[in-house]
Amino acid sequence: MHGSIQKEEKNDFRKTKVKRGSGSLKPKGVNAVEKIGIGIIGAGAIAAVHVDAYKQFADRCEIKAICDVFRDKAEKLKESKNLAQATVVEDWQEVAAREDIDAVSVCLPPHEHAEVSISLLDAGKHVLVEKPMALSLFECKKMIEASERNGKVLSVVSQNRYKTPVMKVKRLIEEQVAGRVLFCMVNSFWWRGESYYDLWWRGRWSTEGGGCLISHAVHHIDLVQWILGMPQKVTGIISNLAHDNSECEDLAIGILHYPNMIVEVNASLVSHGEEQEIVFQAEKARLSIPWKPVAFKQLENGFPTENTDFLQLLQEKYNALPQLEFEGHPAQIRNFLDAIEGKDKLLVDGYEGYKAIEIIMAIYKSACTGTTVSLPIPPDDDFYHKETMVKLMPHFHEKTREKTSFETNVITLGRDLGR
């Protein structure tokens, strides 16, 4: 198939990563006078979030097609979102062939992200792909290459970057308002019932790529590497404590090693309340997302007392930073549309998506080998390629139940990281 995935030569992809952070790919774009034609591939729960976001920019874009192999799901989405102008198709290649479609949201199961995205990019479409970017570093690399050779925008959904508290805390850390970060704790706490893994593609290394790390904690791992940069080494453990219809982990702990800092990543699908947070313990204060600052100063004997003056200064600096006009998926989709039209740089391009997957693969490798893993992961490593990685991963359980879909197609969230 167009853009198929094959093994590559043993070169170090990280050598090309100087392009990271450089922004958009200077795409050819579309006629700014005409609306950008949008296709949605995959009509699951997250697709509705994309539709709602695009509709906020109806003066700039129009949804032309909704695609799903289960036609009734696509028809239901079209009807529920009043998309009279959109056609429903069952084959995503029909979307790729449409001349009136300029950009596509890929909302498919993770194992389909790479092949479909590459084919769309080669067909001249801009692509916004849901997380995780792909199930291997090799697939991520091929997606980036397809974007660059076709001059088309490739963005990976990382909607939590577009939250006001995240942006504010990132600025405060960059400016070292509280001094250097010494330790960071990432709590990616979620709760999922046993039936969550009855969906056919979930809970398999070959189709979901993993459990709570790659499907849930990828959000928080993306944020912490965006704010603090990439670690030098990674240590990790994984387990499955409460989901007997999944091969993959529902609990994971990763330790990210930096020259003068440690980051602890806690990922879980067994946490009631889903109380998610990222806490940065800096020299002068605790900064966090959600925002809950704390500042101590020492007494004569070294014990702490509250530093009210510095805490007030922190709050004033936080309050002075601007609020975002749009947040979450709408903000990222606006950035996607701006990049297509050449008006702005991408905040999350393929190189940024690659980083989160590299940290996750390092945690998996460490958990499997019982060793601390150095980054970057080279192309000849077993954990660079999906096929070899899948063979090495433990099967905590075997899947015995499968559903093609759920009657209840609603996403519920416990705690919004942006609050």
Amino acid at 227: I
Q: Residue 412: inside a domain, yes or no?
A: no
* Cα-based angle 329, 273, 253 (whole degrees, multiple of 5): 80
Over range 283-304, report the average pLDDT: 98
Residues 166 and 249 in one domain: yes
Residue 47 maps to which CATH number?
Answer: 3.40.50.720
Residues 170 and 305 in one domain: yes
Nearest-angstrom CA–CA distance, 381 and 387: 11
User: Could you give the C-alpha distances from 414 to 188, 196, 279, in angstroms and in order?
Assistant: 12, 16, 18
| Residue 303: both structure tokens together | 């014990």
Q: Which pLDDT score, from 0 to 100, does residue 404 have?
A: 87
Q: Residue 419: inside a domain, yes or no?
A: no
| Residue 65: both structure tokens together | 């097609």
5 pLDDT higher than 80: no
- Contact (CB, 8 A) for 363 and 234: yes
Among 7-16, 82-91, 276-285, whose mean pLDDT is lowest? 7-16
Residues 174 and 301 in one domain: yes
| Residue 244: both structure tokens together | 């007997």
Residues 98 and 181 in one domain: no
Residues near 290 by beta carbon (within 8 Å), at least 6 away in sequence: 165, 277, 417, 418, 419
29 pLDDT higher than 50: no
Mean of per-residue pLDDT scores for the chain: 92
Give the pTM: 0.92
Over range 393-398, report the average pLDDT: 98
197 pLDDT higher than 90: yes
Q: Residue 408: inside a domain, yes or no?
A: no
Q: How confident is the model at residue 9 (pLDDT cuts 50, 70, 90)?
A: very low
Residues 153 and 205 in one domain: no
User: Could you give the C-alpha distances from 403 to 47, 193, 199, in angstroms and in order?
Assistant: 19, 15, 5
Q: How confident is the model at residue 415 (pLDDT cuts 50, 70, 90)?
A: low
Residues 318-354 pLDDT 10s: 999 999 999 999 999 999 999 999 999 999 999 999 9
Residues 191 and 289 in one domain: yes
Residues 170 and 39 in one domain: no
Domain carrying residue 320: 161-325+357-392
Residues 81 and 188 in one domain: no
288 pLDDT higher than 80: yes
Residue 308 maps to which CATH number?
Answer: 3.30.360.10
Nearest-angstrom CA–CA distance, 312 and 206: 50
Q: Which pLDDT score, from 0 to 100, does residue 103 have?
A: 98
Q: How confident is the model at residue 418 (pLDDT cuts 50, 70, 90)?
A: low
Q: Give the three-class secondary structure for 72.
A: helix
Residues 190 and 304 in one domain: yes
Neighbours of 171 (CB within 10 A): 15
Over range 146-163, report the average pLDDT: 98
Which of the pair, 38 or 410, is modelled with greater confidence? Answer: 38
Buried/exposed code over 348-372 (b: 16+ C-beta within 10 A; e: otherwise):
bbbbbbbbbbbbbbbbbbbbbeeee
Q: Residue 385: inside a domain, yes or no?
A: yes
Q: Give the three-class secondary structure for 393.
A: coil
Nearest-angstrom CA–CA distance, 254 and 415: 22
256 pLDDT higher than 80: yes
Nearest-angstrom CA–CA distance, 100 and 103: 9
Q: How confident is the model at residue 416 (pLDDT cuts 50, 70, 90)?
A: low
User: Could you give the C-alpha distances from 279 to 166, 183, 386, 400, in angstroms and in order?
Assistant: 11, 8, 32, 39
31 pLDDT higher than 90: no
Q: Which pLDDT score, from 0 to 100, does residue 411 have?
A: 73
Instruction: Tokens 């508290």: give the residue.
Output: 165
Residues 236 and 365 in one domain: yes
CB-hemisphere CA count at 13 Å for 268?
16
**In 346-405, which residue ranges form alpha helices assigned H by DSSP?**
350-369, 386-392
Count of domains forming the chain:
2
Residues 58 and 45 in one domain: yes
Q: How confident is the model at residue 16 (pLDDT cuts 50, 70, 90)?
A: very low
Q: How confident is the model at residue 11 (pLDDT cuts 50, 70, 90)?
A: very low
Q: Residue 131: inside a domain, yes or no?
A: yes
Residues 219-251 pLDDT 10s: 999 999 999 999 999 999 999 999 999 999 999
215 pLDDT higher than 90: yes
Q: Give the three-class secondary structure for 398.
A: coil
Residues 30 and 60 in one domain: yes
Instruction: Tokens 């010494």: give the residue.
Output: 182
Neighbours of 344 (CB within 10 A): 15
Q: Residue 153: inside a domain, yes or no?
A: yes
Q: Which pLDDT score, from 0 to 100, does residue 408 have?
A: 76
Over range 410-415, report the average pLDDT: 65
Nearest-angstrom CA–CA distance, 299 and 290: 29
Q: Residue 7: inside a domain, yes or no?
A: no
User: Could you give the C-alpha distances from 418 to 277, 322, 353, in angstroms and in order?
Assistant: 9, 14, 20
Q: How confident is the model at residue 412 (pLDDT cuts 50, 70, 90)?
A: confident
Q: Which pLDDT score, from 0 to 100, does residue 417 have?
A: 65
Buried/exposed code over 28-42 (b: 16+ C-beta within 10 A; e: otherwise):
ebbeeeebbbbbbbb
17 pLDDT higher than 60: no
Q: Which pLDDT score, from 0 to 100, does residue 19 have?
A: 38
32 pLDDT higher than 90: no
Q: Residue 415: inside a domain, yes or no?
A: no
Q: Which pLDDT score, from 0 to 100, does residue 3 have?
A: 37
Over range 386-399, report the average pLDDT: 98
- Cα 203–chain centre separation: 18
- Contact (CB, 8 A) for 5 and 141: no
